[in-house]
Amino acid sequence: TPTCEPATPLCCRRDHYVNFQELGWRDWILQPEGYQLNYCSGQCPPHLAGSPGIAASFHSAVFSLLKANNPWPAGTSCCVPTARRPLSLLYLDHKGNVVKTDVPDMVVEACGCS
């Protein structure tokens, strides 16, 4: 998936790094120092629908069914995440306990047209 360039109007991944210091949250989030908040945006013309590969989101299955029964789906193809990964966090909870957990599906790694 291309990362977004200013000139790219097509579906791409828009990368943002968020430092927890910027949020004023370093006092309770011990690790990591920040994380990638990426999101998908851009146009999905019809010839790109379904590329690259099957989108990870649940409505790709719906579109596949639609395609199987009606080659030209009535809806539009959307730029959606096709791959995500968890974010490991070490943080202090409301009672001062230290918690280490993996929050699923927190970081978008790839985008595609559903």
Partner 1 sequence: QRTESECPSCGGPTLAPQAERALILQLAKQQILEGLHMTSRPRISHPLPRAALTAALRRLQPGSVAAGNREEIISFATVTGSSAAPCGSVLTFHLPTPRSHHLYRARLWLHALPTLPGTLNLKIFRGTQRRRHRGPRTLLAEHQVTLPGWQALTLPPSGLRGERSGVLRLQLDCRPPKDNNGTVVGAPRRRFLDTAGHQRPFLELKMRAGEPGVGRARRR
Q: Which of 39, 64, 66, 110 binds partner 1 (CB under 8 A)?
A: 39
User: Does 5 contact partner 1 by CB under 8 A?
Assistant: no
| Residue type, position 22, single letter | E
User: Does 21 contact partner 1 by CB under 8 A?
Assistant: no
Dihedral over alpha carbons 56, 48, 10, 57 (to 10 degrees): -10
**Per-state percent for the chain, helix, strand, coil, to nearest 5:** 15, 40, 40
DSSP summary character for residue 24: T
User: Does 65 contact partner 1 by CB under 8 A?
Assistant: no
Q: Which of 64, 91, 109, 110 binds partner 1 (CB under 8 A)?
A: 91
User: Does 33 contact partner 1 by CB under 8 A?
Assistant: no
User: Does 62 contact partner 1 by CB under 8 A?
Assistant: no
Among 75, 88, 92, 85, which Cα is nearest to 107's?
85
Residues at the site binding partner 1, with contacts judged by CB under 8 A: 9, 11, 16, 18, 22-23, 25, 27-30, 35, 37, 39-44, 75-80, 86-104, 106
